[in-house]
Structure 1
Amino acid sequence: MNRMFVVRCILIAVSGVYISLLLRTPLLVSAEHSYTASKAAGDVKMIPFYWIVGIVGGSIAITLTYVGWKKYKAEAKKQTDDDENS
């Protein structure tokens, strides 16, 4: 089950990057470019920022979930080992 979880996490991360490349939105926008664009259009596009936040936040959430699950399983195993030894 742990191997499948890792494979799913990697697949989600890769598909997020692939979708962002398909949409052809730049991941990084220089400050000068966004300032001139906001002056001209009167509107700042935050789509690349949201993609970065989603990918980084998703990676952090997946990592924390995985670590929490491993800790839970280790504590459960330790508890059963302590019960058998008592």
Structure 2
Amino acid sequence: MVKIVKTQIQLLVIILVGIIIYFITNINPIEAAEQPPPEPATAPKKDSEMIPFYWMIIIVGGCIAFTLSYVSWRKYKGEEKKEKDSNS
């Protein structure tokens, strides 16, 4: 049991380190432009700027959902075992 938990913690740490490295390496410096700002009709859509935010929501939400599912499953198994032991 302890070995499984350690393996899961190591996997979670590896995933989190990978995410942090990804965000650190994708930081782009902002440079001042000498051009006038584009007209509103030719400006890029704001949806493309929200994509990293959506990925962050998916990753964090997935980790939370996985953790809650795992804890609920362990609680269910523990209560099932406790009930089985008390009936014996």
TM tier, smaller:
0.5 to 0.7
AA aligned to 1:69 is Y
Q: How many equivalent pairs are there?
A: 77
Q: TM-score, length-normalised on structure 1? A: 0.63
Q: CA separation in 1, counterparts of 2:8 and 2:17?
A: 14
Which of the pair has more CA radius of gyration? 2
> Which of 11, 27, 35 is the matching residue for 2:14?
11
- 1:77 is matched with which residue? 78
Partner AA of 1:61 in structure 2? G
Distance 1:48 1:8, change over 3 A: farther
Question: Any idea what SS the aligned residue of 1:77 has?
Answer: helix
Can you give the 5+ residue segments of structure 2 that lack an aligned partner in the other structure?
Answer: 30-36
More helix by share: 1
1:2-81 to structure 2, matched below 5 A, reads 2-25=5-28, 39=40, 41-44=42-45, 46-81=47-82
Given the two structures, how large is their TM-score scaled by the length of structure 2?
0.62
Alignment RMSD (CA, Å): 2.8
